[in-house]
Amino acid sequence: MLALGAAATALAVGAPAAAQDVEAGVRAWQAERYDEAVRNWRPLADRGDADAQFNLGHAYRLGRGVPRNMNLAEQWYERAARAGHVEAQAMYGLILFQNGRRREAMPYVERAALAGDARAQYVYGTALFNGDVIERDWPRAHAFLTLAAGQGLPYASSQLEQMQEHLSEDDRARGTELAARMVGTGPARSERSRVAAAEPLPTPAPSVANRPADTRTAAAPSPPPAQRQEPSAARAPATTPVRQAEARPTVPEPPRAAPSGRWRIQLGAFSSDANARRAWSQFSGRLGGLQPFYVRAGNLVRLQAGPLADRAAAGRACSALRGQACFPVAP
C-alpha cells in the first residue's frame, strides 16, 4: 500500500514537468530555436507523448532542428495518430492521400473529419461526393463540406458551391441537418500550447468540378431543376445541358426575424472579430431583418444570424444563401 501510494505521488508530481517540457519546446519552436525544441520533445515522444510525437513530425517534415526526413516525419505522425491525436490523424491521413495511398488514408481522414478538422472534412466530403475509395453519399458530402466551409476554409466554400447543382433538395436538407447535429460533437483540444504551429500541407482533394458526368450512378439524385440553377463559370457542367434562355434564376424571399425565436444559422468561424464583421457585410443584404451574433469559441469567432422561430425557418434562411456554407444552430 505504501509503495503504491509513493508511486502515485511520483506520477502526480512528474506530470506537470513533462507537460512543461512540451510547452517549453513549443515556445522554443516559436522563437525559431528549433534544436532546443527538438531536445525538449524527443524524450517525451519516445515515452509516448502524442503532442511531442506530432511536433517531432513537424520538425522532420520541415527539416528544422533535424535533417529533413519525410519517412521519419510520417512515422512520428503515425504514432501520434494511432494514439488518437486529432491533428496527427489529419496530417498523416493527408500525407497518405497525397502520396496516392488513399485507401490507407481514409480511416485517418474520416476520424479527423468527425473530430472537427476542417481540412479533413474537406477531403472526406469530396471523397464522399465523388465515391473515391469510399461509397458515394451526397448528403454526408454536403454535411462535411458545409462544416469545413463554416470553419472558414475558402476552397471548401467554392467546392460546396460547385456541388450544389448535382444535389436534390432532399440531399441538401439531409446534409444541412446532419451538419447541424455534428457541430461541436468532436473532442475539444484544450491544450493548444502543447502543439507547435507549422506550415500546413496543401490539401490534396480532387475537385468536384473535374468529375465527369458519366461517373454518376443510375441511382444518384437528379440535378436540381433549371430554374433553381445560378449561372457561374466555376460550376461543373450539368448532366443535361441547359440552354441559357431556359435558366431563370429566382431570388428567394429574405428570411424574417422572429423576435421571440431562439434558433440561429451559422455562417462561418473566423480568426478575429473584425473578420467576422467583414463577412457579415457580405451576407446581411440577403438575410433581411436577421441580426448578427459574434460567438467566441476558443480562438475562433463564430458568425451566427437570427433570431429565427424554429429549425424549418433556419433551413429556409440557409436556402437564401445558395452555395454558401450555412447550417441551423439549435437553441
Question: Which set of grid coordinates corresponds to residue 32?
Answer: 525559431
Q: Where are the domains of the chain?
A: 17-185, 263-329
Residue closest to 228 by CA, chosen among 249, 251, 252, 242: 249
pTM for the whole structure: 0.59
CB-based burial label for 167 (10 Å; 0-12, 13-18, 19+)? buried
Higher per-residue confidence, 94 vs 279: 94
Cell 472558414 sits at which residue? 152
Candidates 1.20.58.410, 3.40.50.2300, 1.25.40.10, 1.10.3720.10; CATH matching 17-185: 1.25.40.10
**Cell triple for 152:** 472558414
CB 80 within 8 A of CB 57: yes
Q: Are strands 300-308 and 327-329 parallel, antiparallel or unpaired?
A: unpaired
Q: pLDDT band at 302, cuts 50/70/90?
A: confident
Digit-coded pLDDT (tens) for 177-228: 888 888 765 544 445 568 887 766 665 545 554 443 333 332 333 333 333 3
CA nearest neighbour of 153 among 300, 330, 316: 300
- Tens digit of pLDDT for each residue in 5-46? 433 333 333 334 444 589 999 999 999 999 999 999 999 999
Averaged pLDDT for residues 233-243: 33
- In CATH, 263-329 is 3.50.50.60: no
Report the alpha-carbon distance of residue 6 to residue 25 in Å, rounded: 29
Is there a contact between 53 and 88 (Cβ–Cβ < 8 Å)?
A: yes
Sign of CA dihedral 226, 228, 231, 232: negative
Q: Tell me whether domains 17-185 and 263-329 share a fold.
A: no
pLDDT of residue 62 exceeding 60 = yes
